Chains A and B, each alone.
Chain A
């Protein structure tokens, strides 16, 4: 299994953090939300999702809590921290800049 590149890794972090602005989610629903909202273009593998979640938690951008899920099972919910919101703002700005730059080049005659 190859490791995700830094770009992909960073983008995944951004996707997770952005998804969590909708409120605390567990891993499965994060994956589902990303899939639905990207119109099934972005499929997040569990093998990437959970390591990324654990890393973000270690870095203090998100925090976790066990709670009851929609089907009344115990699940681990992740939520944005204050630090995470700050980080998300920076990452969004970065992403805007990057996608604008890529867009400019791609749209070039």
Chain B
């Protein structure tokens, strides 16, 4: 019989069933006739024939299955039956659905986020062969090689197939009819080929075009091509005026193009290196593509002699701080997000397990309640495998439905993540539910369905249970208890980790900054190319400073090149500084931060001057050489003496500055423990001190919104096209804590959901147990037990399993806490308070969850329960 016939049988199932009925009935009738012919009375003849015949339904069932359409038929039947069951038990089905959806939804959403950080390949061809190399020094935020060193590396034979460099992203201005501030990535001509990126239109630039003083060229991003040139192919050959110079568009980058540092760029332009110098030259970031089969380690070994040679030129004091790094591009890109992403992934797995255990318990409880029904079905001829299939079908159906609901939930959650996530989290903006994520959720839901479907299915009763006298099999009760304990232990892990992260967040935000930040509004300004002349920049900022100072309600106006505690301050190695005792600075003593400020800075940020004075207007004379140093720097440069009035150099043989004041130390290493010595130079009325980018700091009693709008209108009246990023100082601080807050928030969310799930699991189990033992309790009460004793008995039982869950949970939490050590701040992974409070709160919630059903059980009326059945 072929497939079509089989299907026809399935469709015409009723017809074949009728035929089968008729066929068997004919047989029966003939047998009866024969019996009568053999002389039996009609009634007895009929009875004998029937007895010989056996169970008609079973024969039919076997005939059907011998036709080989049974499984298809059976599944349809199972599904129909399951749906009818769900309709009858809506509460149960909805609970399972909700728990599955939460588990799967949140794991799919988190997987979409971490997938791109942890597992996805970079957007280049064969990305695992791409490496980043360079010298790491504490005061540079990327690894680099100088132009000369890079030239030498290029000449050295290595395991590299290709090597390339770039000079990072800079602001550039598109002038002309629609002026725009853009980001330009300056790269070598080999940059795109080494990464394996092909322009979708036009071409990459040639080495001859990557030189100074040749006609400029540029590649534009796909997004810019679409938005500014409406995706027309004629864009090739068009001219753009970038920073006052004409560039010809020669190519369009593919849609998914991203820089290895994930910085945003609108244009890719040649870095136009000058001729190779004998030594030094500008710093550049260097990437290479390994030859097929070559390993990073082989390459590292082969370049070490070169690295040693480079370091031999470095001043001996500095050598200790230098390191030649070779790492995969992926590792370079994810950086510190790696640990955070793993944490998130672990958290969501824990939650998925809790949800799974929870649903397993629900199904198990239900299958126990249905034991009698299943026993009846077994007695009516359903085989054991058939019953197992039925139970599995139900749970798979539930988890699939839960999975679909979960995918919808994941979609919403991902939106929420993107909304609350800090800027600069790699890849988050591109995160979306794609096929792989969908496959993950589907696999997760089916696995869940299989796992928690199997547990009840294994308890499918044999026909002997039909009497229903025997209550719950002991093994299943142990499974159920173990599942609740597992939920509790995973909850404890989540709770402890969330507690540690929240405490870290709190520690970070409570960090003494050393300044007063209330009533302070800041505005970051970056001047456009119109201000290429230093005098124009100087004029702009000095006018702005004067105008803002005249506004009512403004107490102090200051300009600085950067803002503590984060920002990007200017730094230099400490050993370069010369105070009275230069030698005191150790070679590996770290870095010193410095800022270029106007006299109002200390008052605007409320930084106390401990000795001497702050800058005055007189210090701004073009020839003045005043410096204010922080207390910590004073202790380093002038140990044991009064630094005030002393002189210092910023670098060997540099000009001398006179220390006019000593300021209190301010936190300047971001929200971390790194706190560097610092000095301040005043912005003089001199072209030498004219910066293109500055931050305005405004302290005033007026409302922040008012101050913000004033700054905006004053800036606009000077130049309407200058973009200004205006925010209160507290908002600026908030941005710094954004990542830790995001991590702590998500983990806390998972911990909360996990807690609710496991508490409800415990509640359900204790209620069930109490209901099962109602008769026993009734007897005990009737025999004189007090309700308090009953309560104690049930609670003691709950406590045993809770304690087991907590004990395992503490062990797991300890392991997890040590794994996320890198995310913690001012708190030890083994913080006793975090562990005790998590265990106590979980224990308390477990107590509440078991107290309610226990109390109910202890108050049963013995007479009612004893009269039942």
What are 26 contact pairs spanning A and B, CB under 8 A? Answer: A1-B54, A1-B55, A1-B58, A26-B27, A27-B27, A28-B27, A46-B27, A46-B59, A47-B54, A47-B58, A47-B62, A50-B24, A50-B63, A51-B59, A51-B62, A51-B63, A54-B66, A55-B67, A57-B1, A58-B1, A58-B67, A60-B1, A66-B19, A71-B33, A75-B23, A76-B19
Majority secondary structure of chain B interface residues (helix, strand, loop or mixed): helix
A5 touches B (CB below 8 Å): no
CB within 8 Å for A46 and B1 given contacts A27-B23, A58-B68, A76-B19: no
13 additional A-B residue pairs with CB within 8 Å, beyond A27-B26, A50-B27, A50-B62: A26-B27, A28-B26, A31-B27, A46-B54, A47-B59, A51-B66, A54-B66, A54-B67, A57-B1, A73-B26, A74-B26, A76-B19, A76-B23
| Cross-chain contact of B31 among A28, A55, A58 (Cβ < 8 A) | A28
| A76 partner residues in chain B, CB cutoff 8 A | 19, 22-23, 26
A2 touches B (CB below 8 Å): no
Distance (Å) between the CB of B55 and the closest chain A CB? 8
B52 touches A (CB below 8 Å): yes
| B65 partner residues in chain A, CB cutoff 8 A | 51
B29 near A73: Cβ-Cβ < 8 Å:
yes
Within 44-71 of B, Cβ neighbours of A (below 8 Å) are at: 52-55, 58-59, 62-63, 65-68
B30 touches A (CB below 8 Å): yes
| A58 partner residues in chain B, CB cutoff 8 A | 1, 66-68
Interchain CA distance A55-B66 in the complex, whole Å: 5
| B53 partner residues in chain A, CB cutoff 8 A | 46
Interchain CA distance A66-B55 in the complex, whole Å: 24
A45 touches B (CB below 8 Å): yes
Interchain CA distance A51-B65 in the complex, whole Å: 8
Interchain CA distance A26-B28 in the complex, whole Å: 12
Within 1-60 of A, Cβ neighbours of B (below 8 Å) are at: 1, 26-28, 31-32, 45-47, 50-52, 54-55, 57-58, 60
A86 touches B (CB below 8 Å): no
A99 touches B (CB below 8 Å): no
| B59 partner residues in chain A, CB cutoff 8 A | 46-47, 50-51
Interchain CA distance A26-B59 in the complex, whole Å: 17
| B1 partner residues in chain A, CB cutoff 8 A | 57-58, 60
Considering only CB atoms, which chain A residue lies closest to B27 in the complex? A28
Interchain CA distance A73-B27 in the complex, whole Å: 11
| B68 partner residues in chain A, CB cutoff 8 A | 58
Considering only CB atoms, which chain B residue lies closest to A73 in the complex? B26
A75 near B62: Cβ-Cβ < 8 Å:
no
Distance (Å) between the CB of B274 and the closest chain A CB? 85
CB within 8 Å for A45 and B54 given contacts A52-B66, A55-B66, A60-B1: yes
The 8 closest A-B pairs by CB, nearest first: A55-B66, A51-B62, A28-B30, A51-B66, A54-B63, A28-B27, A54-B66, A76-B23
Distance (Å) between the CB of A66 and the closest chain B CB? 8
| A51 partner residues in chain B, CB cutoff 8 A | 59, 62-63, 65-66
B24 near A46: Cβ-Cβ < 8 Å:
yes
B23 near A50: Cβ-Cβ < 8 Å:
yes
Number of A-B residue pairs at CB separation under 8 A:
67
Interchain CA distance A27-B31 in the complex, whole Å: 11
A69 touches B (CB below 8 Å): yes
Interchain CA distance A18-B89 in the complex, whole Å: 54
| A73 partner residues in chain B, CB cutoff 8 A | 26, 29
Interchain CA distance A46-B23 in the complex, whole Å: 11
Interchain CA distance A79-B66 in the complex, whole Å: 18
Interchain CA distance A45-B68 in the complex, whole Å: 21
Distance (Å) between the CB of B29 and the closest chain A CB? 7
| Chain A interfacial positions (CB closer than 8 Å to B) | 1, 26-28, 31-32, 45-47, 50-52, 54-55, 57-58, 60, 66, 69, 71, 73-76
Considering only CB atoms, which chain B residue lies closest to A43 in the complex? B52
Distance (Å) between the CB of A20 and the closest chain B CB? 16
A75 near B26: Cβ-Cβ < 8 Å:
yes
Considering only CB atoms, which chain B residue lies closest to A3 in the complex? B62
A26 near B26: Cβ-Cβ < 8 Å:
yes
Interchain CA distance A28-B25 in the complex, whole Å: 10
Which residue of A26, A57, A58, A60 has the most chain B CB atoms within 10 A of its CB atom? A58
Interchain CA distance A75-B52 in the complex, whole Å: 20
| B22 partner residues in chain A, CB cutoff 8 A | 74, 76
Which residue of B19, B55, B59 has the most chain A CB atoms within 10 A of its CB atom? B59
Which residue of B20, B26, B68 has the most chain A CB atoms within 10 A of its CB atom? B26
Distance (Å) between the CB of A19 and the closest chain B CB? 15
Interchain CA distance A51-B58 in the complex, whole Å: 10
| B58 partner residues in chain A, CB cutoff 8 A | 1, 47
| A45 partner residues in chain B, CB cutoff 8 A | 52, 54
Interchain CA distance A12-B499 in the complex, whole Å: 72
Distance (Å) between the CB of A56 and the closest chain B CB? 9
Within 1-49 of B, Cβ neighbours of A (below 8 Å) are at: 1, 19-20, 22-24, 26-27, 29-31, 33-34
| B30 partner residues in chain A, CB cutoff 8 A | 28, 69, 71
Interchain CA distance A58-B66 in the complex, whole Å: 8
Considering only CB atoms, which chain A residue lies closest to B25 in the complex? A73
Interchain CA distance A71-B58 in the complex, whole Å: 28
Distance (Å) between the CB of A69 and the closest chain B CB? 7
Interchain CA distance A74-B52 in the complex, whole Å: 22
Distance (Å) between the CB of A8 and the closest chain B CB? 15
Distance (Å) between the CB of B143 and the closest chain A CB? 72
Considering only CB atoms, which chain A residue lies closest to B62 in the complex? A51
Considering only CB atoms, which chain A residue lies closest to B49 in the complex? A46
| A71 partner residues in chain B, CB cutoff 8 A | 30, 33
| A52 partner residues in chain B, CB cutoff 8 A | 66
| A31 partner residues in chain B, CB cutoff 8 A | 27
Considering only CB atoms, which chain B residue lies closest to A59 in the complex? B1
Distance (Å) between the CB of A74 and the closest chain B CB? 7
Interchain CA distance A76-B63 in the complex, whole Å: 15
Within 411-440 of B, Cβ neighbours of A (below 8 Å) are at: none
Per-residue interface assignment for chain B, residues 196 to 209, with 1 indicating a CB less than 8 Å from any chain A CB and 0 otherwise: 00000000000000
Which residue of A51, A57, A66 has the most chain B CB atoms within 10 A of its CB atom? A51
Distance (Å) between the CB of A52 and the closest chain B CB? 7
Which residue of A28, A52, A66, A73 has the most chain B CB atoms within 10 A of its CB atom? A28
Considering only CB atoms, which chain B residue lies closest to A70 in the complex? B30
Interchain CA distance A6-B533 in the complex, whole Å: 99
Interchain CA distance A47-B55 in the complex, whole Å: 8
Interchain CA distance A107-B63 in the complex, whole Å: 39
Distance (Å) between the CB of A27 and the closest chain B CB? 5
Within 277-292 of B, Cβ neighbours of A (below 8 Å) are at: none
Within 748-765 of B, Cβ neighbours of A (below 8 Å) are at: none
| B66 partner residues in chain A, CB cutoff 8 A | 51-52, 54-55, 58
Interchain CA distance A73-B30 in the complex, whole Å: 10
Which residue of B29, B66, B68 has the most chain A CB atoms within 10 A of its CB atom? B66
| B54 partner residues in chain A, CB cutoff 8 A | 1, 45-47
Distance (Å) between the CB of A48 and the closest chain B CB? 9
| A47 partner residues in chain B, CB cutoff 8 A | 54-55, 58-59, 62
| A26 partner residues in chain B, CB cutoff 8 A | 23, 26-27
Interchain CA distance A84-B66 in the complex, whole Å: 17
Distance (Å) between the CB of A6 and the closest chain B CB? 14
Considering only CB atoms, which chain A residue lies closest to B29 in the complex? A73
| A46 partner residues in chain B, CB cutoff 8 A | 24, 27, 52-54, 59
| B24 partner residues in chain A, CB cutoff 8 A | 46, 50
Distance (Å) between the CB of A42 and the closest chain B CB? 15
Which residue of A45, A46, A76 has the most chain B CB atoms within 10 A of its CB atom? A46
Distance (Å) between the CB of B60 and the closest chain A CB? 8
| B63 partner residues in chain A, CB cutoff 8 A | 50-51, 54
